[in-house]
Structure 1
Amino acid sequence: MTHPHAPKPVRPPRVVLGWRESVALPDLGLAAVKAKVDTGARSSALHVDQQWRFVEAGAPWVGFRLSPGLGGAARDVVAPVLDEREVTDSGGRRTLRVFLRTTLRLAGIEREIEINLSDRRGMLFPMLLGRTALARAFTVDPARSYLHGRPPQGDAPASPSG
């Protein structure tokens, strides 16, 4: 039990993000990905062109192809599967998606997040950064964008949707 006059623990201030930011996923070899910061989405999603499953040392793994729009030439990446869960998209459609754990680097903060692999072809942002990745470290100012640096130009498909 804490003493009633004991000082409250000091939490570090939360970093303010805009509604869109450039993020790095260094474990996946991605230095700058355009991400829509979406507090309405529980989980984070990353666009992949293809994905396939395999078993390594008795554990489930996923292989996936990252498109040239995510910085450089198309390349294949592999990662251990964390989980498989149903996700409901903004249109109300439920799909079973593979989740993995990876490092997010944003605004000088590095943290482990869960991310699902999705077909976001035709979306303006190849990544959606959901509220579980933001919790306890970030707050969002929806009137601002790219507060922590802009991504390189020409790295996302053109589309009005997000």
Structure 2
Amino acid sequence: MTADVITLGWRERLVLPQLGIASLKAKLDTGARSSALHVDDLESFERDGETWLRFVVGTGPRQRIAVHCEAQAFDRRGVRDTGGRLTERWFIRSEVWLAGQRFTVDINLTDRRHMLFPMLLGRTALVGRFAVDPALSYTQPRPVLAVAEAS
């Protein structure tokens, strides 16, 4: 491991500025290849000849605050869940802010309502940036997103 790799806990709070999400609890999962975000009311639509996605992300305590989001579709492909079932999912590409780092991640949009965390940050987002210590949890201060910063 290089000195540039930051050690984080198995769960952290992150920011998705392009979606207007100021703080979201995420599980950092080295066993999952891709990152996933729980969304409700997912629908696709066309804008300027491109496929876009409209969806709702629950944030805040017990995901009670609904953030209405739109993002350009990046891809649609099969993803295997922990039970080995293959499902086709929409992917978006979005910036993530975590531990003072800003980076872009491919995120699949799915139903995670029965999971403890609305966001799963997989190993393709972690590799080369972060190491995960399963004995640690919420090592970073609560993120703060000002509207001016996100633009």
Give TM class, smaller chain: 0.7 to 0.9
- In the alignment, structure 1 residue 85 sits paired with structure 2 residue 68: no
Q: Runs of 5+ in structure 2 lacking a partner?
A: 144-151
TM-score by length of 1: 0.81
Aligned to 1:42: 33
C-alpha contact 1:22 1:33 (8 A) present in aligned 2: yes
When residues 83 and 115 of structure 1 are mapped into structure 2, their CA distance, relative to the original with a 3 A threshold, is: same
TM-score by length of 2: 0.87
- Which of 54, 66, 69 is the aligned partner of 2:57? 66
Q: How many residues align?
A: 141
Divergent runs of 4+, >6 A: none
Aligned to 1:29: 20
CA-to-aligned-CA distance 1:91-124 (integer Å, 9 cap, x gap): 1111100001101000000001110101001211
Secondary structure of the corresponding residue to residue 65 of structure 2: coil
Higher strand share: 2
- Which of 108, 119, 129 is the aligned partner of 1:137? 129
C-alpha contact 1:21 1:149 (8 A) present in aligned 2: no
Larger Rg: 1
Q: Runs of 5+ in structure 1 lacking a partner?
A: 1-10, 152-162
What's the Cα RMSD here?
1.8
- In the alignment, structure 1 residue 124 sits paired with structure 2 residue 116: yes
C-alpha contact 2:20 2:67 (8 A) present in aligned 1: no
